[in-house]
């Protein structure tokens, strides 16, 4: 059992990884040196006031995801950088991203508490225009993220440097979900998730060019959308190509059955400087591709992973609802 790797099983099973991107209203990524505990916020580098804040947020049922990040295991950090991403309302292409740096990690919690309450004092806030790649390397949570995630982090950082992509920052990150897809990463501020990535697909994602069909293998989905609807978005990526990444979208669920077997959805799409489009489709449970296996290296039982398919995808006439969400 010690040689079992959930990522190997997922690949051997031919799992389609689309529709596995979790969605959160707010991401809070906090720079913290390694090592990290299996439960990230129990790591020794996290002060009690930050743990208490995270617990308070959890009890409030807010859709907030705390992550630990680190850019280097060898270079000491001069402070604690904190990246905050808040989901945009209505038609959106991602998250609004801001950041600040505290000279001591103990000072982070009071600033975050104000931020979550809608106040923004007590910190020198900076608008951040970089693309942040958060690669899960959290081996204490699941060993696949050490085996596959950490080597990919080092490779990804080297690629960004070699290509002189100064607006791209590559980070190690604590558990982002889906360790069976290792190496897996979250891209901010767009909020898209990727898995089973390799050198060529990573370069394509960074540059937004190359073979768009790599998304059949490496795309987990867009956290802005409910998981079943992420399957529809991938269909549109494959149709539209890289230009799709300039679209703003909003989804509307028209009908959903109690057991998730059929969902009728509309996806409102706004290309830059063009007429808005409205797509309608059925999202159906695809039992032929639904899998049952151990989805974690530490699991002692199988889980069921539902897979969905798109049916009757078609373009409909402009809807007045779009005006309300724009």
Looking at 70-84, 93-107, 173-187, 300-314, which range is the least confident one?
70-84
The answer, yes or no, to whether residue 14 has pLDDT greater than 70, is yes
Kindly state the average pLDDT of the residues 99-118: 93
| Tally of CB atoms within 10 A around 14 | 8
The three-state secondary structure class of 64 is strand
**pLDDT 10s digits, 133-164:** 999 998 777 778 888 899 999 999 999 999 99
Cα Rg of the chain (Å, integer): 20
Between CA 106 and CA 112, with CA 111 as vertex, the angle to 5 degrees is 95
Q: How far is CA 211 from CA 11, 131, 233, in A?
A: 21, 21, 17
SS (H, E, C) 235-262: HHHHHHHHHHHHCEEEEEEEEECCCCCE
The answer, yes or no, to whether residue 42 has pLDDT greater than 80, is yes
Between CA 296 and CA 244, with CA 22 as vertex, the angle to 5 degrees is 125
| Contact by Cβ (8 Å): 181, 43 | no
**pLDDT 10s digits, 257-295:** 766 666 899 999 999 988 899 999 999 988 888 877 776
pTM for the model stands at 0.92
Position 113 confidence tier, pLDDT thresholds 50, 70, 90: very high
What is the predicted pLDDT for the residue at 77? 66
Kindly state the average pLDDT of the residues 8-36: 90
Environment class of residue 167 by beta-carbon count within 10 Å: exposed (0-12), middle (13-18) or buried (19+)? exposed
| Contact by Cβ (8 Å): 191, 230 | no
What is the predicted pLDDT for the residue at 2? 54
| Contact by Cβ (8 Å): 326, 319 | no
What is the predicted pLDDT for the residue at 200? 96
**pLDDT 10s digits, 49-88:** 999 999 999 999 889 999 999 997 666 667 899 999 999 9
The answer, yes or no, to whether residue 1 has pLDDT greater than 50, is no
Position 325 confidence tier, pLDDT thresholds 50, 70, 90: low
Q: Chain-wide mean pLDDT for the chain?
A: 89
**pLDDT 10s digits, 197-245:** 999 999 999 999 999 999 999 999 999 999 989 999 999 999 999 999 9
Closest CA to 222 of 281, 287, 267, 272: 267
CA distance 7 to 11: 6
Q: How far is CA 117 from CA 110, 120, 189, 200, 237, in A?
A: 11, 9, 21, 42, 36
- Alpha-helical regions (H) of 100-172: 108-116, 143-144, 150-162
What is the predicted pLDDT for the residue at 318? 61
CA distance 132 to 152: 15
């Amino acid at each position: 059992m010690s040689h079992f790797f959930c990522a190997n099983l997922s690949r051997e099973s031919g799992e389609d990884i689309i529709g596995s991107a979790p969605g959160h209203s707010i991401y809070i990524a906090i720079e913290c040196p390694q090592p990290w505990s299996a439960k990230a916020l129990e790591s020794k580098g996290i002060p009690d006031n930050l743990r208490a804040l995270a617990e308070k947020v959890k009890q409030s049922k807010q859709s907030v995801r705390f992550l630990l990040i680190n850019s280097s295991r060898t270079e000491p950090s001069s402070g604690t950088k904190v990246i905050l991403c808040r989901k945009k309302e209505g038609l959106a292409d991602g998250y609004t991203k801001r950041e600040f740096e505290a000279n001591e990690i103990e000072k982070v919690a009071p600033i975050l508490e104000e931020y979550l309450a809608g106040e923004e004092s007590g910190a020198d806030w900076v608008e951040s225009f970089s693309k942040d790649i958060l690669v899960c390397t959290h081996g204490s949570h699941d060993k696949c993220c050490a085996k596959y995630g950490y080597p990919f982090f080092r490779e990804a950082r080297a690629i960004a440097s070699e290509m002189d992509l100064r607006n791209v920052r590559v980070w190690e990150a604590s558990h982002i979900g889906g360790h069976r897809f290792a190496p897996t990463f979250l891209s901010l501020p767009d909020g898209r998730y990727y898995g089973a990535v390799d050198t060529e697909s990573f370069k394509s994602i960074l540059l937004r060019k190359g073979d768009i069909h790599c998304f059949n293998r490496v795309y987990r989905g867009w956290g802005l959308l409910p998981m079943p609807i992420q399957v529809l978005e991938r269909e549109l990526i494959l149709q539209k190509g890289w230009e799709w990444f300039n679209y703003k979208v909003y989804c509307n669920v028209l009908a959903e059955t109690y057991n998730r077997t059929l969902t009728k959805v509309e996806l409102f799409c706004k290309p830059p400087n063009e007429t808005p489009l409205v797509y309608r489709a059925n999202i159906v449970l695809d039992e032929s591709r639904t899998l049952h296996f151990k989805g974690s290296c530490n699991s002692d039982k199988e889980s069921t992973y539902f897979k969905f398919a798109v049916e009757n995808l078609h373009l409909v006439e402009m809807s007045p609802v779009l005006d309300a969400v724009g």
